[in-house]
Structure 1
Amino acid sequence: MTTLVTGGAGYVGSHTVAALHAAGRDAVILDDFSNAQRGVVAALRRLTGRRLEFVDGDAADRLTVRRIFDAHDIDSIIHFAALKSVPESVSEPLRYYRKNLDSTLTLIELATEGGVSRFVFSSSAVVYGSAEELPITEEMPVVPESPYGATKLMCERILADAAAVSQVQSVLLRYFNPVGAHPSGLIGENPLGEAQNLVPVVMQVALGTRSRLEIYGDDYDTPDGTPIRDYVHVMDLAEGHVAALNADLGNHSSRVFNLGTGVGTSVNEVVRAASEITQREIPFDVVARRPGDLGESWADCSRAAVELGWSARRDLRLMLVDHWRFLCRHPQGLP
């Protein structure tokens, strides 16, 4: 039996493919390279020692997805393929709704027709919006504050409703802030265009490929004024997806899980830690807040620990060490 991984050449997707291989599962990667580099597939094949099956295509294209089902015995889907920038979604909302909803609708329709038993969805903690209490549990209200977050919540509801009337069990993973790289240094985060997430930008400044870091606001109601996030190692996150495939959901047709560390770290703390690890100065400027950004966000992951048997094992230092190793080996990204 085989898992279809949409967006499997992307950052979290590629590490999940590596984790699937390590767990003895076969995977077919579907990616259109709108958020990934083509060299990732070759790097994954080198890492796994296998000729991984790969399809260059759009997850919203019914014909492409149907051909994959015809060619492979697909029993599960992990769906990463999506547009994923909060600020960009604010300026281009219709593009985000079209892209993210279309792919999910196509996949779940064909999954219900094709005998798929498990559908794991890459959701996000942004669905919680400005949480009134911390840490964030799965039972808290979901009030996304950006079109990106709204698309994630809409996709969750589509999958939950579909699961309630079909044989497909949906696992909805709301994860926090992925950081780091595979310990081999063969795959890691390769943002296309200008990086927007904190750690890739910090590391680019340390490497010298970017002159300065911009910190978006230092007037939040936090101890040092900068936003606080729950950073989770991408390999922990990848292993969480494997756990979601293997878990016994009992009578649940769908289930939501937070994936994070349960520890909040501020932007300033990340910058200081990265400077220590890289032994480089990281100059920065404080600029205006970005639309849709939150002040504080970190997870309660106890449900995942109990029901998935999963918890994050890697700390922030290892996240930064692994990220730096990959970037030093591939300063221009993968070819």
Structure 2
Amino acid sequence: MNILLTGGLGFIGSHTAVVLAEQGYQVVLVDNLCNSEIETHANLELITGKEMPFHELDIRHTTALVRILKEYQVDAVIHFAGLKSVAESSTEPLKYYDNNVGGTISLLEAMKACDIYHFIFSSSATVYGVPQYLPYDEDHPLVPMNTYGKTKLQAEEILQDVARSDSRWSIAALRYFNPAGAHESGLIGELPKGVPNNLMPYVCQVASGKLPYLNIFGDDYDTKDGTGERDYIHVMDLAEGHVAALRFIEKNIGFYPINLGTGISCSVYELINAFEKSANCTIVKKVQSRRSGDLPIYFACADKAKDLLAWHAKRDLQSMCDSSWKFQANLAKNL
């Protein structure tokens, strides 16, 4: 099968490209490089030993997408392209709706024009909002707290309507929890532009001396050690979840929202302690007041992924930290 990955040079897209190639799929990549690096393309081909055609393209260019879908005779699309900063989404909502919702519509229009009806959407646990119960399962009410989450939910609603309108569509919306870690080679990993929004790359940059210290926003939550708890999932487990979802939608029609998480919550301090073992250093940290909108704790119920996809997360927190530090150390060597 020929699989198009939008946002294919990004963090999750690049790792999924590796797993797909290793499983014998032909991978085509598009990315506008707004939050990724062109060097990742060469590293993907180095890791897999396979050619991966790449096109620098904004997915809102529907006509160009149609040309690529036809040129490579694409059978299915995995859609990673989108903006993902919660903070930025609050200050630039039009930018986020244009990219995340408008881009998804453009992609669906291009697929329909080419008679392609197999689609995997990169969604997010942010669609759930404040927990009414935990762990979140797929039936939990959907009340996102921020613009980013609203764009993901709006895209999901569009996908559900599309699937209802035409029985040829087979769509999985994979709701990620907190991806972390890197490929075992150390050649690809999470490489945000500017100051990181996520905890793991921020810790990496503190450990490498690029940032002076880590801010911990609140240590007085009603959690195991007072810091926020999240469901961290290794990016390679997440990548393997996409391959399992692809196999599922090859055989099942309709719209399927599915959590990809571990079902285990991990605190900020637990992650720091594990990372300090990986990097053999002490992370300088400062406790700050709580941030508005931060939840004390959330984590996934991943039973549906196990039942439908025969998938579960296999890698632990220490392996996430070990691989993240290997990637960070490799970056430092190549500077």
TM exceeding 0.5 = yes
- Contact kept in structure 2, 1:112 and 1:168, CA below 8 Å: no
Conserved in 2, the CA contact under 8 Å of 1:111 and 1:168?
no
TM-score of the pair, normalised by structure 2: 0.96
CA distance in 2, matches of 1:10, 1:135: 28
Deviates more, 1:271-280 or 1:249-258: 249-258
In structure 2, the partner of 1:146 is 146
The match for 1:273 is 274
Structure 2: which 5+ runs fail to align? Answer: none
**Residue of structure 2 in register with 1:204 after alignment:** 205
Whole-Å separation in 2 of the counterparts to 1:308 and 1:39: 32
The residue that corresponds to 2:182 in the other structure is 181
Q: Tell me, what secondary structure is at the counterpart of 2:41? A: helix
Partner of 1:75: 75
Q: Secondary structure at the match of 1:247?
A: helix
Question: Residues 143-192 of structure 1: CA distance to partner in whole angstroms, max 9, x if unpaired?
Answer: 10000000000001111111122212110000100111011111111111
The aligned residue for residue 219 of structure 1 is 220
Q: Indicate conservation of the 8 Å contact 1:87/1:292, yes or no.
A: no
User: Which one is further off, 318-327 or 251-260?
Assistant: 251-260
Distance in 2 (alpha carbons) for counterparts of 1:220 and 1:132: 17
Q: 2:39 maps to what in 1? A: 39
Shift of 1:112: 2.1
State the 1:221 CA deviation.
2.3
Cα distance in 2 for residues equivalent to 1:289 and 1:106: 38
Q: Does the CA contact (< 8 Å) of 1:179 and 1:233 recur in 2?
A: yes
- Residue matched to 1:165: 165
CA RMSD of superposed structures (Å): 1.5
Write out the 4+ residue segments of structure 1 that deviate beyond 6 Å after TM superposition.
none
Aligned twin of 1:257 = 258
Percentage of pairs with the same residue: 44
Could you tell me how far apart the structure 2 residues matched to 1:155 and 1:308 are?
Answer: 22
Count of equivalent residues:
334
Q: Which residue of 2 aligns with 1:125?
A: 125
- Structure-1 residue corresponding to 2:20: 20
1:325 correspondence with 2:326: yes
Name the residue aligned to 1:57.
Answer: 57
1-structure distance, mates of 2:113, 2:66: 10
Q: Could you tell me which runs of 5 or more consecutive residues in structure 1 were left unpaired when the two chains were aligned.
A: none
Answer whether contact 1:180 1:318 (CA < 8 A) is retained. yes
Task: State the alpha-carbon separation in 2 of the partners of residues 2 and 248 from structure 1.
Answer: 14
Offset, 1:289: 2.9
Contact 1:75 1:115 in 2 (8 A): no
Q: Quote the offset at 1:252 in angstroms.
A: 4.6
Tell me what 2:108 maps to. Answer: 108
Do 2:30 and 2:54's aligned partners in 1 also have CA atoms closer than 8 Å? yes
Partner of 1:304: 305
**What residue in structure 1 maps to residue 4 of structure 2?**
4
Q: Distance in 2 between matches of 1:277 and 1:185?
A: 14
Q: Does the 8 Å CA contact 1:228/1:264 hold for their aligned counterparts?
A: yes
Deviations 1:276-314 (A, max 9, x none): 221101011122333432221100101100110110010
Give the whole-Å Cα distance in 1 for the aligned partners of 2:79 and 2:291: 27
Counterpart residue type for residue 176 of structure 2: Y
C-alpha deviation, 1:219, in angstroms:
2.7
- CA distance in structure 2 between the partners assigned to 1:25 and 1:214 by the alignment: 42
